[in-house]
Amino acid sequence: MADFIWDLDAGGVATITWDTPGKSMNVMSMAGFAELDALIDRALADVAVKGVVITSGKKDFAGGMDLNVLAGMRAGGARAIFDGVMQMHTVLRKIELAGMDFRTKKGGKPIVAALPGTALGIGLELPLATHRIFAADNPKAKIGLPEIMVGIFPGGGGTTRVSRKLGAMMAAPILLEGRLSDPKGAKAAGLIDEVVPADDLIGTAKAWVLAAKDADLVKPWDDKSYKFPGGAPYHPAGFMTFVGASAMVNGKTQGVFPAAKALLSAVYEGSLVPFDQALKIEARQFTSVLMNPSSSAMIRSLFINKEALEKGANRPQVADQSVKRLGVLGAGMMGAGIAYVAANAGIEVVLIDATQEAADRGRAHSESLLDKGIKRGRVSPARKDEVLSRITATTDYAALRGVDLIVEAVFEDAKVKAGVTKRAEEAAGEEVIFATNTSTLPITGLAAASARPGNYIGIHFFSPVDKMMLVEIIRGRKTGDRAVAKALDFVRQIRKTPIVVNDARFFYANRCIIPYINEGIRMVAEGIAPALVENAAKLLGMPLGPLQLVDETSIELGVKIARATKAAMGADYPDEAVDRVIFWMADQGRLGRKTNAGFYDYSDKGERLGLWEGLAGKYPADKVQLSLADVQHRLMMAQVLEAVRALEEGVLTDIREGDVGAILGWGFAPWSGGPFGWLDIIGAARAVQICRELTAQFGHRFEAPALLREMAENGTGFYGQPGETRAA
Ligand code: NAD
């Protein structure tokens, strides 16, 4: 079945309709490109064809390149990627030059794009090669080049065309940040040409084709008088742009994301040479990024596997469990956030707290988020009213009658939780699924308070709820399949990404984050300079150093968790050295960001200043410091080994969840694709060697788990996909 359908109307305008069979969204494959190529040849050769409109048979134009194909392309090696990309450039260039005789500037055929909705990646790069882009006035449509978000960059001419069209400065947010806009925003940014009512889309596009003049078909960069907007690098203005952009990119990425640097190089080097040469440079940079194991690890975790989890890869086979009415117990920071995301997704919410004031305060949280949205032009006043009307704030448990899911987010206290569980279950009825948002208490223990432990589950949100995309679902020992399906369907409704793990101390995410924080603090206690610890983490691509992270999550909470963990573990407790530091910090009144004092200093307005100098009085930095690599290995292995142990112990049952969960849950070095992705990049043998060195120097906590040692012996990896290369 064909991806592209040909139609020629009586007026001589051909319509090429993109309609990938069997998919709700068009995605481009190499075979699709070959089909498009043949149809363009046909249009250019047939004298009856005056021009072409390229459009879509679906509600959107296209979601981009099929990333599965891209991941597979690596298997063919650099030459195959480069040749494949150049083949695409040839087709797109054929569209752009339109068969025109460039000596006389005559004889070309207009080719335009008509976008009914979303146009992303190659779905925008193809239109960018046409002579005019029309988009339907569809505010839901997203237009842009998000490739950078999955570790690659626009390599289908998008980098070269957008930078030449808009100049490096205006192109930066589109290319470097992957910013998406609705059609009106895309027009304002200069990416597309016209926004028209949906019903007039094809008519307007055809009328333009019939009226187009020869001059309309010459792209600015194919005109002799073309100058790079804002100046190419050798121009003083352009020079400043590129120096600034280079510094900004390195500041933001710390040099760990190969795609950002390659993108900048493609724009910079491309701007110095003629257009066709620039496309070749773009293809070469794209090839080098695709050959880097980081890009396939990112595509795998942030696109392919993230989507698979969102679509329910690990959902039990149970009938649809979509939530219609939700009960939320506790309207504090977490409960209020959960109520907001649910109401925003169209779910009716009963928000309960011990007093009406507290419940109202929880509802007011939604109001303030919606007001912010109105200020930024993202939310209409009518939408605000609609979302708020779904939240009933009350102290009356009777209001829970008819809710099909309850999420409990009261104080972190097993007795308080047991009390509200009983009351709420009685009020809601037998069918209700009951979820706790606890971050530290084992689910199986809490389920003892439930009349129906099979319907009891953990749904662990991260703070702030409206921003954090991961939700950790925890199966207690008795949790049944319907509860898991309910939790997964709820997470799908609120458009977040779920992982499902088994019950154990700190579940998965916190289990890995805590050793990371502790390793950082332990190094401070050993006399390692705090700035070295923090910068080493940043240079690994961690969004926050361990000291900043504990400031954000609160040192007071760290103290509480340390006390509870020690009580539970007794003589086996391994973190006395860490506790001495945080207990001392707490004694100094430095409880973290919320008190404007922690490992960092803060201004009165709460802005983070430098590291707190008082720390050096108690823990002076040694004259001899560890190497950067040693500090990084300690910080990385502290997290990664815990992830492997979670897998060995069956807390994690799927490495995809371990990787996606790590990146979305605590920002684990996204360039690596996650802890298991990172281990595959360096190889199990190298990982075991690092563990051996760290164990000899710093202790048994770095001993390689058996699973890793076996992999090193057998030469296997976690994913072992074809084309995966191993760096030493
Ligand atoms: P919070 O103190 O902000 O809110 C708790 C709310 O529960 C308060 O409004 C309180 O009035 C209410 N409450 C207490 N007892 C109640 C009762 N008997 N009936 C009704 N309401 C009652 O706490 P939080 O930070 O929102 O945390 C809530 C839960 O979420 C805890 O279990 C916590 O471990 C978990 N959690 C917190 C975070 C976080 O970052 N804060 C992250 C994940 C999970």
Q: Are residues 211 and 12 in contact, defined by beta-carbon separation less than 8 angstroms?
A: no
Q: Is the dihedral of CA 49, 51, 52, 53 positive or negative?
A: negative
In this predicted structure, the answer to whether residue 73 has a pLDDT above a threshold of 80 is: no
Question: Cα of 473 to ligand 1 centre, how many Å?
Answer: 18
Domain of residue 462: give its range.
325-504
Tell whether 499 and 475 lie within a shared domain.
Answer: yes
pTM: predicted TM-score of the whole model, two decimal places: 0.90
Of ligand 1's listed atoms, the one at least distance from the Cα of 332 is 4
Q: How many CA atoms does the CB half-sphere of 94 hold within 13 Å? A: 19
Distance 464 CA to ligand 1 centre (A): 13
Atom of ligand 1 at shortest range from CA of 419: 18
Q: What angle do CA 406, 411, 415 make, to 5 degrees?
A: 85
- For residue 107, the model assigns a pLDDT of 85
- The encoded tokens of residue 543 equal 């969004």
Does residue 424 sit within a domain? yes
464 lies in the same domain as 391:
yes
117 has a pLDDT exceeding 90 = yes
Distance 535 CA to ligand 1 centre (A): 33
Q: What's residue 722's pLDDT?
A: 36
Both tokens assigned to 561: 């968790």
Whether residue 406 lies inside any domain: the answer is yes
- Describe the strand order of the beta sheet including 13-18 as a list of residue ranges: 4-8, 13-18, 51-56, 111-115, 132-136, 194-196
Burial of 2 (0-12, 13-18, 19+ CB in 10 A): middle
Instruction: Check: CB of residue 646 under 8 Å from CB of residue 658.
Output: yes
563 is a domain residue: yes
**Residue 318, domain member (yes or no):** no
- Residues 594-647 have pLDDT tens digits of 999 999 999 999 999 999 999 999 999 999 999 999 999 999 999 999 999 999
What is the number of the ligand 1 atom nearest to the C-alpha of 335? 26
Torsion of CA 233, 236, 238, 244, to 10 degrees: 100
Residue nearest to atom 29 of ligand 1 (CA): 409
Do 497 and 602 belong together in one domain? no
Are 581 and 706 part of one and the same domain? yes
Catalytic site positions? 439, 460, 472, 510
624 CA to middle of ligand 1, Å?
Answer: 45
| Ligand 1: residue whose CA is nearest its atom 28 | 409
| Probe residue for ligand 1, chosen from 365, 408, 411 as the CB with the greatest number of ligand atoms within 8 Å | 411
For the CA of 416, the nearest atom of ligand 1? 18
Helix (H) or strand (E) holding 576: helix 576-587
Q: What is the CATH number of the domain that holds 149?
A: 3.90.226.10
**Contact assessment for residue 263 and residue 252, using Cβ atoms and an 8 Å cutoff:** no
Ligand 1 pocket, residues with Cβ under 6 angstroms: 329-335, 352-354, 358, 409-412, 416, 419-420, 437-439, 460-461, 463
Structure token pair of residue 316: 């039990």
Q: What is the C-alpha to C-alpha distance for residues 449 and 426, in angstroms, rounded to an integer?
A: 12
My answer on whether 404 and 329 are in the same domain is yes
Q: How far is CA 680 from the centre of its chain?
A: 21
What is the 8-class DSSP label of residue 300?
I
Q: 515 C-alpha to center of ligand 1: Å? A: 24
**724 pLDDT above the threshold of 50:** no
Q: Does 435 share its domain with 551?
A: no
| DSSP structural state of residue 572 | G
pLDDT tens, 337-384? 999 999 999 999 999 999 999 999 999 999 999 999 999 988 999 999
* Number of domains the chain is built from: 3
Domain final residue pick, 504, 525, 560: 504
pLDDT band, residue 648 (cuts 50/70/90): very high
Question: Angle 631-694-611 (CA atoms, 0-180°, nearest 5)?
Answer: 20
Report yes or no on 415 lying in a domain.
Answer: yes
Q: Note whether residue 606 is domain-resident.
A: yes
Band of pLDDT at residue 709, cut at 50, 70 and 90: very high
DSSP structure class, residue 62: B
Confidence at 569, pLDDT banded by 50, 70, 90: confident
Using only C-alpha atoms, the chain has a radius of gyration, in whole angstroms, of 28
Bigger pLDDT: 27 vs 239:
27
Q: pLDDT tens, 3-62?
A: 999 999 999 999 999 999 999 999 999 899 999 999 999 999 999 999 999 999 999 999
Classify residue 642: in a domain, yes or no. yes
Please tell me the distance between residue 331's alpha carbon and the centre of ligand 1 in angstroms.
7
User: Residue 364's domain is classified under what CATH number?
Assistant: 3.40.50.720
* CA angle at 440 for the pair 434 and 441, rounded to the nearest 5°: 55
Among protein residues, the one with the nearest Cα to ligand 1's atom 4 is 332
Determine, yes or no, domain membership for 297: no
Same domain, 537 and 568: yes
Q: Closest ligand 1 atom, CA of 352? A: 20
CA distances from 123 to 26, 90, 219, 255 (A): 8, 16, 19, 29
How far, CA to CA in Å, does 552 sit from each of 472, 544, 584?
20, 9, 18
Instruction: Estimate to the nearest angstrom the gap between the alpha carbon of 251 and the chain centroid.
Output: 20
Could you tell me which residues come within 8 angstroms of residue 60 by beta carbon, excluding any fewer than 6 positions away?
A: 25, 26, 116, 117, 118, 119, 141
User: Residues 342, 428: one domain?
Assistant: yes
